[in-house]
Amino acid sequence: MAQDKITMLHGSGGQATSELIRSVFAEAFSNEVLGQMEDSAVVPGSGTIAMTTDSFVVTPLMFPGGDIGRLAVCGTVNDLLMRGAKPMYLTCGFILEEGLEVEVLRQAVKSMAETAKEAGVLIVAGDTKVIEGNGGMYINTAGVGFIENEVDISSAKIQPGDAILVSGTMGDHHAALLGERMEIETEIKSDNAPLSEMVAALLASGLELHAMRDVTRGGLATVLKELAESSQTTFVVQDEAIPVTPQVKDFCGLLGLDPYYMGNEGKLVLILPEAEAEKAVEIIRGSRYGDGATVIGKVYGAENGNGAPGDLIAETAIGGQRRMDVLQDEGLPRIC
Amino acid sequence: MAQDKITMLHGSGGQATSELIRSVFAEAFSNEVLGQMEDSAVVPGSGTIAMTTDSFVVTPLMFPGGDIGRLAVCGTVNDLLMRGAKPMYLTCGFILEEGLEVEVLRQAVKSMAETAKEAGVLIVAGDTKVIEGNGGMYINTAGVGFIENEVDISSAKIQPGDAILVSGTMGDHHAALLGERMEIETEIKSDNAPLSEMVAALLASGLELHAMRDVTRGGLATVLKELAESSQTTFVVQDEAIPVTPQVKDFCGLLGLDPYYMGNEGKLVLILPEAEAEKAVEIIRGSRYGDGATVIGKVYGAENGNGAPGDLIAETAIGGQRRMDVLQDEGLPRIC
């Protein structure tokens, strides 16, 4: 690339677009399928597939512990994993704002390529558009995963008596982004990570996995409340059991933020029979990005008396209870 | 929706996002798979699949003959069709600018739902983000199609002696968009259309289809030049054979535009053995959106003497020849 900034010309569909694809995307994403350079990629399929899509509009584009490229791969890979699928193929759609530094694009693309490799997925198709703007960038990734016949993980399988686990500390991604934006110096890093190894280990364990969700936008409380509602059970969690690093705890204290509603990008919630919970914690702790796995609560039926079907209840350290809802409004500065 | 404009709150991932999904997307896109409301959709697969992605950044959002919603479905469906795949599933990622009229979003979504129905594809997963801005909207669609074992359509199969066909008139989409933007009154309508019926008829015919491409950004010349290059053959087309409506011809004359480089959104180029060309024209003419199908030129090998491998040559009405390249620069006002 002779030019160091993106111009409208790079979105023309003509020579400048080809040149951009060749010099930035083709090398980083190099694989046989992308090399087909046709209108769509043709790849081996499977009897049952999972599909998902996510757009990434994060600012700043680079942040402590990650960047928009790593995030764009992790978000979609993790959504596939949550249904018990093996992530296989990603497509990526880049919307570039005029004025974007080509070097920034190159870094994001490099990061996508590395994260795709780590997660074991192939980037099979891409698209680039240029819009007016101020040098920003948006990335959409859509993904296809393969599901083995016997795997059936969904919120419909949640039952009273199930345990509620998280794979690690809450709020890291959100706090890292906010710290960067507000120019507060912290040691907090985003947890953006593909959970491929963790989920593969869980699937291989033979444990009876009922439901999995990655904890992203809306935070832990939003995910748990949605799962309680869709399964019409009552979720009870202990405030003290929710893992939060001292740094994130201090950061939240300083700004009056609630870690229950802060987004992560490399943590999951797992619901499974209580009898299998300790085994699951052990497996997650033994896999990459799972150091902080722990049980945080339990699923109850109507007989419990603690709440109605669909309720999410947090028990405080001194034994109080509060009924929690999904994220209601901009109680938190937005990060995506 | 109580509110009539999109606000940052609609992208929070909390209650306002759920409300937007329920009131705008869920009803229009209603199907069993989307109803799963999980992190990813689980659907039946196939032994060989095609995948593609495209982002749509067109302004204005509504234009004569179509809108961004119809375009977003057609673009991705057509890319799948060009490999001989049967389009099956779409994901859609909406990036909404603050201030967007909810009614405009609703119309685009309705249009997507109708076009998906016409094209026979299921919208299986979606995502919505909100960014700062001026009431605009971007849509990414990614698609999966099934490929039957014996289908193998790609530029690698192009051979000397093949005929070059187009399915109809060139430049309609581009001219309709420009007319709307420049407030020039014309009767020109965008040709945005899903080519599902046309391609299904071609596949069912048993004809030896070598390569297909939809003519979009970059126009006919860009598509043909890319095909000539990747097959290392020489493409020779006749200016007089290129179908252009009188309205688009007048419009181009007025503004000094070249229909060879103007985008369409519902036309394809087909390359197949010359002996089968007339049959193919007949089949395309007999299918929806194929009225204007015609042969426009021929593929030559090195022995031709007309040009080198990779050349695209246009013969003028009076017998002259000009070597054409892909779209070089903004010779045309941008439409996407």
Q: How confident is the model over B10-47, as pLDDT tens digits? A: 887 778 888 888 889 888 888 877 777 778 898 999 99
pLDDT, residue A306, reads 72
Residues in chain A: 336
Q: What does pLDDT average to over chain A?
A: 92
Residue A332 CA to residue A185 CA, distance in Å, equals: 19
Strands A122-131 and A162-166: unpaired
Strand order across the beta sheet in which B137-146 lies = A122-131, A86-97, A137-146, A41-56, B41-56, B137-146, B86-97, B122-131
- Cβ neighbors of A285 (< 8 A, separation 6 or more) are A291, A292, A293
Give the per-residue pLDDT at B32. 78
Q: Is residue A313, in this structure, part of any structural domain at all? A: yes
Cα–Cα distances in Å, from B109 out to A51, A104, A329?
20, 33, 25
A44 vs B38, B42, B48: nearest CB: B48
**CATH code for position A249:** 3.90.650.10
**Residue B95 with chain A: CB contacts under 8 Å:** 55, 57, 95, 138, 140
Residue A129 forms beta bridges with which residues? A95
pLDDT at residue number B1: 54
pLDDT of residue A22: 86
Q: Which residue in B18, B85, B218 is closest to A14 by CB distance?
A: B218
Whether residues B95 and B185 share a domain: the answer is no
Give the Cα separation of A162 and A149 in Å (integer). Answer: 24
Q: Do B330 and A50 make contact, defined as CB atoms within 8 angstroms?
A: no
B16/A57 Cβ within 8 A: no
Return the residue of A nearest to B19 by Cα. A328
Task: Indicate whether B251 and B109 sit together in one domain.
Answer: no
Residues of B in contact with A57 (CB under 8 A): 95, 129, 131
How many A×B Cβ pairs under 8 Å? 246
Q: Which two tokens stand for residue B99?
A: 């201030």
Distance from the A212 Cα atom to the nearest Cα atom in chain B, whole angstroms: 9
For chain B, how many residues are written? 336
Residues A198 and A245 in one domain: yes
Show the tokens assigned to B141. Answer: 């669609």
Q: In the structure, what pLDDT confidence band is assigned to residue A324 with cuts at 50, 70 and 90?
A: very high
Q: Are A161 and A142 in a shared domain?
A: no
Residue B161 lies in a domain: yes
Which pLDDT score is estimated for B110? 96
* Alpha-carbon span B89 to B44, nearest angstrom: 10
Task: Using CA coordinates, name the residue in chain B closest to A227.
Answer: B38
Candidate from A13, A38, A51 with C-beta closest to B83 = A38
- What is the model's pLDDT at position A319? 84
Query: What tokens appear for A119 in the block?
Result: 């997660």
Do A168 and A307 reside in the same domain of the chain? yes
Q: Are residues A96 and A194 in the same domain?
A: no
> Is residue A218 within 8 Å of A263, Cβ to Cβ?
yes
Same domain, A202 and A314: yes
Q: Which of B14, B82, B94 sits opposite A39 (nearest CB)?
A: B82
Q: Give the 3-state secondary structure of residue A14.
A: coil
Last residue of a domain, one of B84, B117, B146: B146
pLDDT band of A332, cuts 50, 70, 90: low
Are B45 and A146 an interchain contact pair (Cβ–Cβ within 8 Å)? yes
The reply to whether A332 falls in a domain is no
What are the tens digits of pLDDT across the range B72-108? 999 999 999 999 999 999 999 999 999 999 999 999 9
- Among B39, B121, B224, B312, pick the best mutation site for testing chain A contact (most A Cβ within 10 A): B39
- Residue at B333 is within a domain: no
For A129, which residue in chain B has the nearest alpha carbon? Answer: B55
Residue of B nearest to A221 (CA): B14
pLDDT above 70 covers what percent of chain A? 96
Q: Which stretches does DSSP call E strand in A65-118?
A: 66-67, 86-97
Q: What 8-state DSSP symbol labels residue A287? A: S
pLDDT of residue A261: 94
Mean pLDDT across chain B, nearest whole number? 92
Measured CA to CA, the distance from residue B236 to residue B63 in angstroms comes to 34
Pair (A135, A159) in one structural domain: no
* B140/A328 Cβ within 8 A: no
How far A62 CA sits from the closest chain B CA (Å)? 17
Instruction: Say whether both B124 and B159 belong to one domain.
Output: no
Return the pLDDT at B335. 66
Percent of chain B beyond pLDDT 70? Answer: 96
Residue in A with minimal Cα distance to B326: A14
Residue with tokens 């087309």: B237
Cα A78 to Cα A311: distance, rounded to the nearest angstrom: 26
Scanning every residue of chain B, which has its alpha carbon at the shortest distance from the alpha carbon of A50?
A: B42
Q: Any idea which residue has 């979105």 for tokens?
A: A11
Query: Which residue among A46, A91, A222 places its CB closest to the CB of B52?
Result: A91
Closest partner residue to A327 among B14, B50, B326, by Cβ?
B14
Question: For testing the chain B interface, which of A42, A123, A130 should be mutated: the one with the most B CBs within 10 Å?
Answer: A42
B276 token code pair: 């089968």
List the beta bridge partners of residue B94.
B128, B139
Distance from CA of A198 to the nearest CA of B (A): 17
Considering only CB atoms, which chain B residues are within 8 Å of A91?
51-53, 142
Is residue A334 a part of any domain in this protein?
A: no
Domain boundary among A146, A168, A186: A146
Q: Which domain holds residue B57?
A: 8-146
How near does any CA of chain A get to the CA of B184, in Å? Answer: 23
> Average pLDDT for residues B166-193, to the nearest whole number?
95
- pLDDT tens per residue, range A12-43: 777 888 888 888 988 888 887 777 777 789 89
Q: How far is B71 from chain A (nearest CA, A)?
A: 15
| Same-domain pairing of B213 and B92 | no
Per-residue model confidence as pLDDT tens digits over A282-300: 999 999 999 999 999 999 9
DSSP A290: -
Decide if B40 and A52 are in contact by the 8 Å CB cutoff: yes
Check whether residue B211 and residue B309 sit in a common domain: yes
State residue A135's pLDDT score.
94
- Among the candidates A127, A146, A165, a domain finishes at A146
At A215, give phi and psi (nearest 5°).
-90, 100
> Is residue B330 domain-resident?
no
Q: How does DSSP classify residue A156? A: G
Residue of B nearest to A19 (CA): B328
Q: Determine, yes or no, domain membership for A1.
A: no
**pLDDT for the residue numbered B11:** 83
Phi/psi of residue A92, nearest 5 degrees: -135, 130
pLDDT in the model for residue A267: 98
CA–CA gap between residue B188 and residue B178 (Å, rounded)? 10
Residues in chain B closer than 8 A to A230 (CB atoms): 37
Q: Which of B48, B126, B230 sits opposite A53 (nearest CB)?
A: B126
- Shortest CA distance from B333: residue in chain A: A12
Residue A1 reports pLDDT greater than 60 = no
When scoring A15, A39, A55, A137 by the number of chain B Cβ atoms within 10 A, the one with the most, hence best to mutate, is: A39
Q: Which of A19-33, B145-159, B286-300, B317-331 has the highest mean pLDDT?
A: B286-300
The closest alpha carbon to A152, from A98, A197, A101, A203, belongs to A203
Give yes or no: residues B192 and B218 share one domain: yes
The domain that contains B30 carries what CATH number? Answer: 3.30.1330.10
Show residues of chain B in contact with A330, CB under 8 Å. 8-9, 12
pLDDT tops 90 at residue B152: no
Closest CA of chain A from B238, distance in Å: 22
SS (H, E, C) chain B: CCCCECCHHHHCCCHHHHHHHHHHHHHHCCCCCHHHCCCCEEEEEEEEEEEEEEEECCCCCEECCEEHHHHHHHHHHHHHHCCCCEEEEEEEEEEEECCCEHHHHHHHHHHHHHHHHHHCCEEEEEEEEEECCCCCEEEEEEEEEECCCCCCCCHHHCCCCEEEEECCCCCHHHHHHHHHHCCCCCCCCCCCCCCHHHHHHHHHCCCCCCEEEECCCCHHHHHHHHHHHHHCCEEEEEHHHCCCCHHHHHHHHHHCCCHHHCCCCCCEEEEEEHHHHHHHHHHHHCCCCCCCCEEEEEEECHHHCCCCCCCEEEECCCCCEEEECCCCCCCCCCCC
With beta carbons under 8 A apart, name residues in chain A contacting B125: 51-53, 142
Taking contacts as CB-CB distances below 8 angstroms, the residues of chain A near B230 are: 37
Q: Do residues B241 and B316 lie in contact, with contact meaning Cβ atoms separated by under 8 Å?
A: no
In the beta sheet, which residues pair with residue B127? B93
CA dihedral B203, B207, B209, B214 (to 10 degrees): -50
DSSP run (H or E) holding A55: strand A41-56
Query: Does B336 reside within a domain?
Result: no
Q: How far is residue A169's CA from residue A247's CA, in Å, rounded to a whole number?
A: 11
Taking CA–CA distances from B131, the nearest residue in chain A reads: A57
Q: What is the pLDDT at residue A304?
A: 65
- Residue A14: its pLDDT value, please? 78
Q: How large is the average pLDDT for residues B261-273? A: 96
Burial class (CB in 10 A: 0-12, 13-18, 19+), B134: exposed
What pLDDT digit, counting tens, does each position of A56-100 carry?
999 999 999 999 999 999 999 999 999 999 999 999 999 999 999
Angle at which helix A68-81 crosses helix A196-204, to 10 degrees, equals: 20
Q: In what order do the strands lie in the sheet with B162-166?
A: B211-214, B268-273, B162-166, B294-300, B234-238, B312-315, B321-324
Inter-chain contact A330–B51, Cβ cutoff 8 Å?
no
Hey, of B53, B56, B229, which one would you mutate to test binding to chain A, going by the most A CBs within 10 A of its CB? B53
**What is the number of structural domains in chain A?**
2
Burial class (CB within 10 angstroms; exposed 0-12, middle 13-18, buried 19+) of B155: buried
Q: Which residues pair with A237 in a beta bridge?
A: A297, A314
Answer whether B53 sits within 8 Å of A218, measured CB to CB: no
